[in-house]
Amino acid sequence: MLRRSSGKCWSSAAATSAGNVRTDNEDTYLIHAANGIWAVADGMGGHQLGGLASQLVAESLLDIPAGGDLDRRLEHVATALQWVNFHLSCERTLVDPQQIMGSTVMTLVAQSGRAACIWAGDCRCYLLRRGVLFQISEDHSLVQQWVNAKRLTAEEAIQHPHSNIVTRAIGVSRELVLESVEFELYSGDMLLLCTDGLYRGLSAGIIIRSLSFAEPEKAVQALMQHALAGAAKDNVTAVVVRNN
């Protein structure tokens, strides 16, 4: 299902699918262009626990205020995510310490020509600017650590059997370490937030061609069609934001 959201400065669209193999969809997204905030969350845990975790992550960001400077808004986002982490980690400890119930997350906050991503895990943020694709975020994953140590190439990491092991996520431990990156926004910039189920099945060329559509809904449709035409063994979620 495709969803759209427009604000004064931004237009956006999003879609999610269980993929071609799984019956449950544990991904969740948030689009709130009027407030300049978007997110994707990839739940972990199975038996709908991951879906609940990702929903809690997205819902915690609904009340982030639109006013104030970007730094202050990022503090609100971090506080909201830390609260969800505390809630989920306490719930897991009380119910079953061995049970996984968590979520990775990628959040985008935009305001007056500036933007920032704040994340934990392996959801990604891409920026297409004047035909050039940039990966804004770096995965918090075991294989990314090996890439940084030059034990693997980026191409080998995508296909590695341990590529699904993340080193940071919400709800898996009492301490949550978030990472953030700030950058300038220019008119016509296209941003993609996505779960690993999307980018693992797409080449950079396909992402570039899809984001080259000026309308976010067309970009999302293209991305989802390409992803679902492949194996799509995992849930697939995409959020596309255009800086007007």
| pLDDT tens sequence across 144-160 | 999 999 999 888 888 88
CA atoms in the 13 A half-sphere facing the CB of 159: 5
196 contacts 234 by C-beta, under 8 angstroms: yes
Within 8 A by CB and 6+ apart from 212, the residues are: 128, 131, 190, 219
Phi/psi class of residue 220: alpha, beta or left (left: φ > 0; alpha: ψ in -120 to 50)? alpha
For residue 142, list its beta bridge partners. none
Tens of pLDDT, residue by residue over 26-50, are 999 999 998 999 999 999 986 678 9
Which pair of structure tokens corresponds to residue 90?
A: 């306490």
Q: At residue 68, what are phi and psi to the nearest 5 degrees?
A: 85, 170
Segments of the chain scoring below 70 in pLDDT? 1, 5-7, 46-47, 92-98
In the prediction, which pLDDT does 158 show? 84
Report CA 37 to chain centroid distance, whole Å.
Answer: 12
With residue 83 as reference, give the H or E element that holds it: helix 70-95
In the prediction, which pLDDT does 47 show? 60
In the prediction, which pLDDT does 107 show? 98
In the prediction, which pLDDT does 1 show? 63
With residue 191 as reference, give the H or E element that holds it: strand 190-194
* C-alpha to C-alpha distance for 58 and 195, rounded to whole angstroms: 14
197 contacts 236 by C-beta, under 8 angstroms: yes
* C-alpha to C-alpha distance for 204 and 194, rounded to whole angstroms: 13
In the prediction, which pLDDT does 98 show? 67
For residue 117, list its beta bridge partners. 108, 181
- Classify residue 116 by burial, with Cβ atoms within 10 Å: 0-12, 13-18, 19+: buried
* C-alpha to C-alpha distance for 122 and 13, rounded to whole angstroms: 21
